[in-house]
Amino acid sequence: MMNKPSVISLFCGAGGSSLGYSMSGYDELLGIDIDPTACETFHHNFPYTPVWNQDLTTVETDEVMEYTGLESGQLDLLDSSPPCQGFSICGTRDIKDQRNDLFLETVRFIEGLRPKVFLIENVTGLMKGKMRGKFNQILFQLKSTGYKVKYKSINTIYYNVPQSRQRLIFLGVREDLQSEPVFPQPNSQVKRLKDVLPQVDFHSRGQFDRLIKHPESLPYTITKSPSMFFIEDGIQRKPTIEELKILSSFPTEFEFTGSYTQVWDQIGNCVPPLMMKELGKTIKEQILNV
């Protein structure tokens, strides 16, 4: 039986990406994240996958290779979702935000581990306005590591997620491999609110004071801070945790730890698993050829 392709997740959070990779047939060797509550959720749902609750800037690539038994070049996929608040149009978009420099930590791990493929997920705000210079700098650094790099803005609604969430994906393939970076084809069958939560109308008050009142609509991005509510039988209420999970494509059996606000934060920070399942499947079948 062929071994599963290996993956390590940087900034793994509660495990949205990890769940997607598990669904598409990967063996996760390690997750790393600085948030203790998110790490508790990760450990609860992936008890056999080690997770380090550490600041990535304090982690050396040599200790990761020693712990996992990997040698340089052996890892199939390095996944990374560095904090995006400094780039997001929903935030301050401060080009000097220190969290933006955590992209450099991903570059350090690419250079140290030399994975066959890397995938970096972030917000599309990185490509816009005053952040464009930072985007070009990051792209140059990624290409300088010896990888064929492509990027694409994709919306989660086209990858089986009932939530309109635009994400920026960098995909890199090591130059000694014959494959090229390739992205999954979008699915034209979009799930709307009425398909997954038929009993409610969705309302969102965010930066642009949007107010959506129709079940044919798509919920906008679930952000780190609570910004939406539902109307059910004429009564306004917050979404339940189960409803937030559904909108982010988490299965019922996935359990989050922490308070309501902490869980909302975790879900808002997570990569939707079904989107990552499609990305992982494409990488496995069309790039790694396994």
90 has catalytic annotation: no
Tokens of 282: 């494409």
Q: Out of 12, 39, 84, 270, which one is annotated catalytic?
A: 84
Q: In what order do the strands lie in the sheet with 6-10?
A: 51-53, 27-33, 6-10, 77-80, 117-123, 166-174, 147-155
Amino acid at 235: I
Residue 69 to residue 75: CA distance in whole angstroms: 10
Contact 45, 254 (CB under 8 A): yes
Work out the burial of residue 92: count CB atoms within 10 Å of its CB; fewer than 13 is exposed, 13-18 middle, 19 or more buried: exposed
Q: Which helix (H) or strand (E) holds 21?
A: helix 16-23
E strand intervals along 1-157: 6-10, 27-33, 51-53, 77-80, 117-123, 147-155
CB neighbours (10 Å) of residue 137? 12
Work out the burial of residue 14: count CB atoms within 10 Å of its CB; fewer than 13 is exposed, 13-18 middle, 19 or more buried: buried
Hey, which residues are catalytic here? 84
